[in-house]
Amino acid sequence: MRASTFRRLLNLWPPFLFNAIRLQSLSDDYTEAKVVLRLRPWNRNYVKSQFGGNLFAMVDPFWMLLAMHQLGSDYYVWDKAGTIDFVAPGYEDVYAHFKLEPGVVDELRAAAAGGEKVLRWFETEVTTASGKVIAVVRKQIYVRLKPKAR
C-alpha cells in the first residue's frame, strides 16, 4: 500500500481520530513517521494535561508498522512489550518522531534468517514543539521469518 494512502487511513482509525492523534508524515519507503497529539478538551486528564493513555497510544503501533512494511510479507512482526516513563506534564500539543534505519532492518533480517524469533527494543521521546521531553516510550517488537520463507 502506498504510504500516503496508509497515512490517510490511519488518521481515520477511530482510536486516533477521536483522540486528536494524527500521523503528520510517513515516508514513501516507511523509514520515517511523525505523529502529533493535539491537546483538546476531550483528551485532557483531570489536571488538564495530556492523558497518559493517549501519550502511549500515539506511539504504540509505529515501530511495528515501520518494521512490517520494510521487512515485507515473509515476516511475522508483532508488538511484544511496551513501557512509558512520564517525564513532565504535557500542557500543549506533543510530537513523536520515528526513524527505522535500513541498517536496523538488515540486522533484523539477518537475526531472523534461520527462523528464530527476534526481540528488539526501540525508544521514542514524546516532546513539545520546543523539544521539552514529556514522556519516553520503549516498545519491543517480535520478528520471525514465516515458515514458507525459511
SS (H, E, C) the chain: CCHHHHHHHHHHCHHHHCCCEEEEEECCCCCEEEEEECCCHHHECCCCCECHHHHHHHHCCHHHHHHHHHHCCCEEEEEEEEEEEECCCCCCCEEEEEECCHHHHHHHHHHHCCCCCEEEEEEEEEECCCCCEEEEEEEEEEEEECHHHC
Calculate mean pLDDT across residues 4-23. 96
Q: Is the pLDDT of residue 28 over 90?
A: yes
Instruction: Summarize pLDDT for 102-144 with one digit per residue, the tens.
Output: 999 999 999 999 999 999 999 999 999 999 999 999 999 999 9
pLDDT at 1 over 90: no
Q: Supply the pTM of this predicted model.
A: 0.93
| Residue-level pLDDT at 80 | 97
pLDDT digits (tens, 9 = 90+) for 81-93: 999 999 999 999 9
- Fold of the CATH domain 3-149: Thiol Ester Dehydrase; Chain A (3.10.129)
150 falls in which pLDDT band (50, 70, 90)?
Answer: confident
